[in-house]
Structure 1
Amino acid sequence: ISLLSGNVVPSSKDGIYLSRHIGLRSGIPENVGALTVNRLCGSGFQALINAAHQIKLGESKLIVAGGTENMTQTPFAVRNVRFGTALGMKYETTVGCDPTIMGIGPAPAIRQVLAHTGLKIDDIDIFEVNEAFAPQALAVQRELGIPMDKLNMNGGAIALGHPLGASGARISVHLAHELKRRNAKYAIGSACIGGGQGVAVLFENVH
């Protein structure tokens, strides 16, 4: 067992090595190691990707993975979420792009996911592209031809917020619940990353 957490700006008083604090305060045994990962806006995704890799390699059987960010120093609580959804991480990738148009990063990342898996845009039931800002998400949508009725179905980062290190984890959980609720097969979560990168993850409903 291990703990992985995405975090970008360790602004809270216990922000130094935040993942270790998360483990200790949530009751995870003291002998369980912790790791904080930082890939800017893709940090929450990267924590899940690293966790999937460790399990696939047989290095771990159980990993607690997610993301956290305290950009306003205001505490929030999410209640009654102690349940799970079986979900398969089918494929994931991180790519680079021109830093002057970093917002387009999800487009080449999603293209690479589709090329590797042999899927097409029409095969994907749900897309969530993190809205770093409104024109950015629309540019990705137009570049790939994503149907608007499949994109950010229940609101994206403009409506829900973009806590840098936690957004990837939030999107992943959101997609897991939407796949289950709609009894759909495939979903892709994606985000642009500062410095000219893009991350995309393909999720499959295993039921």
Structure 2
Amino acid sequence: MSAFGLLPRLNCIHSFVCLDPTKNHGLQTSFHCLSKEVQQIKCSLFAVSHQPHHRLVSVPHRTPIGTFGGKMRSMSASELGGIAAKAALASLPKEFPVDSVIFGNVLQSDNAGPYLARHVSHRAGLPVHVPALTVNRLCGSGFQSVINGVHEIQLGESEIVLAGGAENMSKAPYTLSGSSRWGQRYGIDPILEDSLAATLIDQYPNKTPMGITAENLAEKYGISREQCDEFALLSQQRYAAAQQAGRFDAEIVPIELKTKAGVESLALDEHPRPQTTAATLAKLKPAFKPNGVTTAGNASGINDGAAAVIVASEDAVKRHGLTPLARIVSWQAVGVDPSIMGIGPVTAIQGALKRANLSLGDMEIVEVNEAFAAQYLAVEKELGLDRAITNANGGGIAIGHPLAASGARIVAHLTHELQRTRKKYAVGSACIGGGQGIAMIFERV
């Protein structure tokens, strides 16, 4: 097909939204085409209009975040994803048609794992003809699912996409590794491997645990154990204050749990420890190396949970009378040195800002996923972040980090926060095991 044949489906990468009650505004345009040749053709034909062809719409919801081995441990990732997806869809008119489902998942912790996005679609009650795609960019999967939804809209493949992420880390299985399937040699026992622990180690090239990458950053940036504990305590305190003020109420959908006593409703996150003190944190032993700075108290948790968001074109928004929370201005995924993977948000945020022709000073709300306190502090130091507006309601250390769900959770929280605070711009980001980073910028509408 010629470049001219592609043009009707290639609309420039403009801006995108997430949904709620305000008016449509003119959006600044930025664009990236598939090749220089196509870019030149598009510029001559379309002159880069400042009225966007597409926007993204979001009605974000998430489940409570469960703690490792907690009340949600028996629920599959697809069950959790289905609950979040159903809540997002319930906010829409019944005739609102979904064209595609894109969900992130990392661990595939049960037999349904390879089918996750498809099963989320079924559990959400979508018609059988709606296709589904499961994506895995590790800790950035929740962000990536939303970005993939934008791509489908830009290419004209979809108008309305259900995106999100789901994870049940509690269900991660033990496996028999090696040649067990093909017969074990006499006298050699099969190797029982914890798939969860193995996933949290970057196998290439040097089998580096994620915690060691945080220790590497602490050494590089001169970050102390005391600084890590201080930040971990702040995360817990900020979360407790935000939860008490009801700042998560709009995004959380309660889940029904079957117990021996009947049915229990869980509407609060399980992982936060509001009673945490500096003294209790100081007593914890280093988790990854002698005299290291990272402990169980200043790192994110191992968690279960899901989040979902509706992404739609501007035409679909107008046609169905929807009101957006925010638009997605830009995004960026980057690669970094795997041994210091936690620094990934730095160049990801810088890239997203450059694409949007914005500066860090324009951002009024900032979220950096807290994989480890040392990792966050390195990013803060490198970017010069204002801690007063960064993770202002607590982050992964308090809330938890259910891998593929975390990015979608951050999207949900940022878009709700933009409306609550009436701020204009927000940026969310995450580091990614294996040496990547991802970021997205939002604007309230």
Instruction: Quote the offset at 1:13 in angstroms.
Output: 4.0
Between the aligned partners of 2:361 and 2:427, the Cα distance in structure 1 is 12
Q: Indicate the residue corresponding to 1:164 in structure 2.
A: 403
Between the aligned partners of 1:7 and 1:28, the Cα distance in structure 2 is 19
1:22 to 120, 125, 139: 120
Q: How does 1:167-186 map to 2 (within 5 A)?
A: 167-186=406-425
Per-residue CA deviation, residues 80-110 of structure 1 (Å, 9 max, x unaligned), is 9999852211101101111111100000111
- Note if contact 1:85-1:176 (Cα within 8 Å) is conserved in structure 2: no
Q: Indicate the residue corresponding to 2:346 in structure 1.
A: 107
- Note if contact 2:366-2:389 (Cα within 8 Å) is conserved in structure 1: yes
Instruction: Quote the offset at 1:21 in angstroms.
Output: 0.7
1:134 to 359, 373, 378: 373
The one-letter code matched in structure 1 to 2:150 is A
Q: Indicate the residue corresponding to 1:72 in structure 2.
A: 170
Q: How does 1:5-84 map to 2 (within 5 A)?
A: 5-73=103-171, 78-79=253-254
Aligned structure 1 segments of 4 or more residues deviating by more than 3 angstroms? 80-85
**Length, aligned pairs only:** 204
- Note if contact 1:105-1:199 (Cα within 8 Å) is conserved in structure 2: yes
The one-letter code matched in structure 2 to 1:139 is A
Between the aligned partners of 2:340 and 2:130, the Cα distance in structure 1 is 40
User: Given the superposition, is the C-alpha separation of residues 82 and 147 from structure 1 closer, same or farther in structure 2, using an over 3 Å criterion?
Assistant: closer
* Secondary structure of the corresponding residue to residue 92 of structure 1: strand
Between the aligned partners of 2:114 and 2:361, the Cα distance in structure 1 is 44
The one-letter code matched in structure 1 to 2:438 is V
Query: So what's the TM-score if we normalise by structure 2?
Result: 0.44
More off after superposition, 116-125 vs 43-52: 116-125
Higher relative contact order (CA 8 A, sep 6+): 1
Alignment gaps of 5+ in structure 1: none
2:328 to 81, 89, 99: 89
* Secondary structure of the corresponding residue to residue 68 of structure 1: strand
Instruction: Quote the offset at 1:42 in angstroms.
Output: 0.2
Query: So what's the TM-score if we normalise by structure 1?
Result: 0.93
The one-letter code matched in structure 1 to 2:101 is L
Per-residue CA deviation, residues 5-48 of structure 1 (Å, 9 max, x unaligned), is 00000113422211111111110101100000000000000000
More off after superposition, 109-118 vs 29-38: 109-118
Between the aligned partners of 2:326 and 2:157, the Cα distance in structure 1 is 20
Alignment gaps of 5+ in structure 2: 1-98, 173-251, 255-266, 268-307, 311-322
